Amino acid sequence: MANPAFAAERTIKVVAFGDSLSAGYQLPASAAFPVQLERALKARGIAVEVVNAGVSGDTSSGGLARLDWSVPEGTDAVILELGANDMLRGVDPKVTRAALEEIVRRLKARKIEVLLCGMQALRNLGPDYARAFDSIYPGLAAANDLLLYPFFLDGIATDPKLNQRDGLHPTADGVAKIVSGILPQVEALLARVRAKPAS
């Protein structure tokens, strides 16, 4: 059903800024997260453009290094999905948190709204690492008044039918499930953009 509140509004520009999970690793371009998300939002009558700024293999520090050119002028909102590769490489959670914090700080300084996508550590990394890593996202969201989608792979991570053979990357159906799960938070993100006074 179309959302009348969004009808006849200017197109909101969203950048999906992340790693292979948002880039669409081994998927046709039409099945990648930004494309499926844009399609779902447009089906609800929302004028939006979702740009794919996902880079496979990227860490949070890598994202910070490319932030300024990956998120161009005119961006209204960013879906920030980084940290999975930090975790897979066993990067110190303090390093991950500091990089994500700086990304958020720079985006907020540019008056860009942020939806932070949480990640969870593999349990075989040990309870101390998992506790430190998992707490990064709710902590950052609370400290910076960010919208939070607690776990980007919620409902997908343990389902072999929704993952590619590597067990790490979602299939096209897996991405569709991510989109349906995250949609309410993305709509809340767009509502924050709409609520801002015109500059």
Please tell me what DSSP assigns to residue 170: B
> Confidence band (pLDDT; 50, 70, 90) for 198?
low
Asked whether the predicted pLDDT for residue 92 surpasses 60, the reply is yes
Task: Tell me whether residue 169 is one of the annotated catalytic residues.
Answer: yes
Nearest to 82 by CA among 74, 66, 69: 66
> Which residue is catalytic, options 19, 22, 86, 169?
169
* Per annotation, catalytic residue among 128, 145, 166, 199: 166
20 is catalytic: yes
In angstroms, the CA 114 to CA 145 distance is 9
- Picking from 50, 31, 39, the residue whose alpha carbon sits closest to that of residue 171 is 31
Task: Decide which of 124 and 59 is more confident.
Answer: 59
Catalytic residue among 19, 20, 58, 86: 20
Percent share of the chain, pLDDT over 90 = 88
pTM, two decimal places: 0.94
Residue 199 pLDDT class (50, 70, 90 cuts) = low
pLDDT higher than threshold 70 for residue 128 = yes
Return phi, psi of residue 171, to 5°: -75, 180
Domains and CATH numbers, the chain: 10-195 (3.40.50.1110)
